[in-house]
Amino acid sequence: MDDLARKHQNMAKISAAILYGICVSIALNFFWEEGGVYASGITGFAQFIHTVTGRFMPFTLSTSLMIFLLNVPLFIIAWFKIGHHFTIYTFIAVVFSSIMVQIMPLTQLTTNPIICAIFGGVINGFGTGTALKNDISTGGLDIIGIVLRKKTGRSVGTINIIFNVILVFAAGFIFGWEHALYSILSIFVNGKVIDMVYTRQQKMQVMIITDNPKVVIQMIQDEMRRGITIVHDVEGAYNREEKTMLFTVISRFEMHDLEAVMKKADDHAFVSITEAVKIMGHFYEAKIK
């Protein structure tokens, strides 16, 4: 059974890597290149190098080649700081995306830079978020973002935005501020879509009012590995019945698991879930391998 689950997980990761390669190649060759928009992260830096070498040097380094070469040192960081399996699947995602960017033909759907910025950001953000959701990375700032998130608690999408501001200002200074502003729009959209899809880093505070605290606590701890704070002798204002209040914090990714647990443990419990602005202290996150 474990072997079957592992094979299913591996296939999901490979599928996510392939999906990302398709998404980034469509975003780049259908929208960003045609609209004069720079992508986020290593892809944008690869575009920047391609443009600089093409304009100011006697040779041109292709975007697809630079996507791979710029990721090589980051593979080393991921191998030692994140995990071996994570790095292997990230390598697959980067190689496949480099190949897809090279072979995908440039297609002019529109030259409107705003449309190109928005749709390029949405498509690439979806591919990146799906990869991260399956515990793999698309390379580049994703790796840096994951490492820094462990230390700072900032979301991956937010870290992407911060890093990319520097790239956009460099591109704007050399090639023009109009397209730099469109690139900022695309990077912002890309980061927000990543956060919408990759929900594992988003924390939710859960309040549970229950008549069966022992069962609820046991099931949450067994199936979700979450710590719980217990408040005894809570009284309901309507029936004046004594109940128990439980507090815990989960990721948005775990909301479906919580719903399943509560249906089994206490289907009549009152559950309130709110977004946690900031978490201080220890919050368990499964280790990426």
Rounded CA separation 224/271 (Å): 16
Distance of alpha carbon 66 from the chain centroid = 22
What domains lie within the chain, and their CATH numbers? 2-199 (no CATH), 202-275 (3.30.70.120)
Residues with Cβ within 8 Å of residue 221, at least 6 apart in sequence? 227, 228
pTM of the model: 0.73
Q: Which of 223, 237, 227 minimizes the C-alpha distance to 270?
A: 237
Question: What contacts 186, CB < 8 A, 6 or more positions away?
Answer: 32, 37, 38, 39, 40, 116, 117, 118, 120, 121
**From CA 283, how far away is CA 275, in angstroms rounded?**
15
Contact at 8 Å (CB) between 148 and 159? Answer: yes
Give bridge partners of residue 251 from the DSSP assignment: 203
Q: H helices within 39-176, ranges in order? A: 41-56, 63-81, 84-103, 113-133, 141-152, 156-175
Per-residue model confidence (pLDDT) at position 1: 47
Per-residue pLDDT of the chain (289 residues; tens, 9 = 90+): 456 767 777 888 889 889 999 999 999 999 998 888 888 888 888 988 998 898 888 888 999 999 999 999 888 888 888 778 888 888 999 999 999 999 998 888 888 889 999 999 999 999 988 888 887 778 877 677 777 766 666 655 566 667 777 888 887 887 778 888 888 898 889 888 888 887 666 778 888 988 888 888 888 888 877 888 888 888 777 777 888 888 888 877 777 788 888 888 888 888 888 876 566 666 666 555 5
Q: List, for residues 70-115, the tens digit of each pLDDT value.
A: 999 888 888 888 778 888 888 999 999 999 999 998 888 888 889 9
